[in-house]
Amino acid sequence: MPTTTVHASNLEKIFKVPEREAGLRAAVKGLVVRKHREVRAVDGITFDLAQGEVVGFLGPNGAGKTTTLKMLSGLLYPTDGEATVLGFEPSKRQKEFLSQITLVMGQRNQLSWDIPALDSYELNRAVYQIPDQQFHQTLDEMVEMLGIEDIINKPVRNLSLGERMKAEIAGALLHLPKVLFLDEPTIGLDVTMQRRIRGFVAEYNRRHGATVLLTSHYMADVVALCKRVIVIHHGIILYDGQLAGLVDRFSADKTIALTLPDSSINLDGYGEVASRDSGRVMLQVPRTEVSRVTARLLADLPVIDLTIEDPPIEDVIEDVFLQGQQEQEGQGT
Amino acid sequence: MKGTIDFYLTQMKLAVIVQFQYPLANYFYMIGMIAEPVIYLVVWSTVAVQQGGSVGGYTPADFAAYYLVWILVRNMNIVLTPYAWEQYIQRGFLSMELLRPIHPLHGQLAYFSGWKFVVIVMWIPLAILLSFIFKPNLDPTAWQLILFFIALWGGYLMRFMLLWLLGMITFWTTRVSAIFELYFTLELLFSGRLVPLSLMPEWAQTVANLMPFKWAFGYPIELILGKLTLQQSLLGLGVQLFWTLLALFFVRLTWRAAMKKYSAVGA
């Protein structure tokens, strides 16, 4: 049985934020009476990650993803609940713990802006007390895997966003962390660069057996890297399981893609026509009806080609959030 | 220990590399820094001449020496200010440092220490130039030079620790510049920055002795000017150590509470 590397149990984070109405009167009143509001960013979530697992952590903006990652990396102190990473309690921020993890945030830099990345890597060597030989060996490996040989000698301020991100990732992994918390590592990057980063994460995971918890708004990242996903919304986990299972559970329909010789053929009674482009028709059919409808289509119509597809994962995720929202609203009334 | 020394040396080297990226900006910064002491120097030298050659035991050549060393001490005193803490947190720099297995205090202390070497290198030609103009009376003995060097770094360490503690208020509340202003006003008055403390009334000198400010600023200057005995000089180092350890004690005492409070905004 695989070892549990990351464990969260009823993990909760409540932020207390000041609240004030607009206007001068409210400003003056605020001098005497200060009002605060509690924001439940993470609301008692529970999950485990096994060693070597790559898990997608999905949710819309403000869902609680980054807050969870910050709690698990020791940046934020949980309001309640329990978290352990590699057997350590992250909030204690022990050196042994911090030496074995990394948190990469797509919108934050850890490399010094004014100097080449190579100089910053040298600092990381000293910070993590990496033996010289191991440092050079790992650096060579990162340079090769990310293709950054020509980049690391230029001042970071002169690098493009994609180059900077690759240099950042190399710097964050020089100490060969066992747990990677990746928060939007491909944000703002072009498709080629996204693919390169994805390939690198997969390769790092394969070579070093690292556990990865990844947030991304790009479903391509998740599909390429994660068999398992955790979907969070308003601080609550809506789904935790196989990516394929997500589609089965939250998508009531499948899409039958049909190619017909004549685009005017009447398809009433087979399903809902989602789109029709000359002879190519996309038909939405309830999941339970797929085999029956397919058989009828093939028997009744001059079908040239037919494929059965799951809806795009983006649409499924959107459905998950929507259903989650509706359930919460239902509970609130 | 070996690892910590390696970290300090690497971080200091990095600070020097970063600062040498912008030599011109640093020189303009140093030149800007000269304006304040030169004004004080001209004013007090004029007063001394009008008083018959000296005021409070300081001749114009003594004032020239005082304010020449002042420039170096002032620069050595520069640390992460409480004002910078707001940005340090909001821009996510602190979060990035908190992820490393070394206390952020070490990173900042080492970085500013590296910067000091750049400051010293840039101060030397300026000091030579100003010496030609103002003819300072500066003739320290070997022990004064050695103790001055220790006091210079001791003052830096002490001020670093005190301002780190003050900056930590930012964890609990933002926009606390009023508190910082009060601190810096007291420091201006009782450190010897505005005027040599021996020119101030007796009561002010007593107050200055009880506060930390003088020990980072006026004390090293008076030491190299030969205004202190060996015993007074050694006592000064002891006082620096006392304030440094006291500040460190409170930093350690409050750090965990600060971390509980930290909301990692902007990071």
Residue B10: its pLDDT value, please? 94
pLDDT digits over A87-98, tens only?
A: 999 999 999 999
Band (pLDDT 50/70/90 cuts) for residue A275 is confident
Residue B17: its pLDDT value, please? 87
- Stretch among A311-325, B80-94, B240-254 having the lowest mean pLDDT: A311-325
Helix, strand, coil percent content, chain A, rounded in steps of 5: 40, 30, 30
Q: What is the mean pLDDT of residues B14-40?
A: 83
* Distance in Å, alpha carbon of A259 to nearest chain B alpha carbon: 51
- Sheet of strand A228-233: strand arrangement: A101-105, A179-183, A211-215, A54-58, A228-233, A236-242
Chain B CB within 8 Å of residue A74 CB: yes
On whether ipTM exceeds 0.95, the answer is no
pLDDT digits over B50-61, tens only?
A: 988 888 888 999
Residue A327: its pLDDT value, please? 67
Q: Is the pLDDT of residue B197 over 80?
A: yes
- B199 vs B30, which has greater pLDDT? B199
Residue A332: its pLDDT value, please? 46
Band (pLDDT 50/70/90 cuts) for residue B174 is low
Q: How many CB pairs under 8 A join A and B?
A: 76
Residue A72: its pLDDT value, please? 96
E strand intervals along chain A? 4-19, 35-50, 54-58, 80-85, 101-105, 179-183, 211-215, 228-233, 236-242, 253-259, 272-277, 280-286, 305-309
Q: Is the pLDDT of residue A256 over 80?
A: yes
- Stretch among A202-206, A314-318, B219-223 having the lowest mean pLDDT: A314-318
Give me the residue from B10, B17, B264 closest to A75, CB to CB.
B264
Residue B134: its pLDDT value, please? 86
pLDDT cut 70: percent of chain B above it:
97
Residue B126: its pLDDT value, please? 86
Q: Is the pLDDT of residue A191 over 90?
A: no
Give me the residue from B14, B100, B259 closest to A77, CB to CB.
B259
CB contact under 8 A, A129 and B10: no
> Are the CB atoms for B126 and B34 separated by under 8 Å?
yes
Q: What is the mean pLDDT of residues A146-164?
A: 87
Q: Is the pLDDT of residue A31 over 80?
A: no
Interface of B with A (CB under 8 A): 3, 6-7, 9-11, 14, 17-18, 21-22, 92, 95-96, 98-102, 259-260, 262-264, 267
CB contact under 8 A, A70 and B264: yes
Q: What is the mean pLDDT of residues A135-157?
A: 89
Q: What is the mean pLDDT of residues B112-118?
A: 90
Q: How many residues does chain B have?
A: 267
- B154 vs A2, which has greater pLDDT? B154
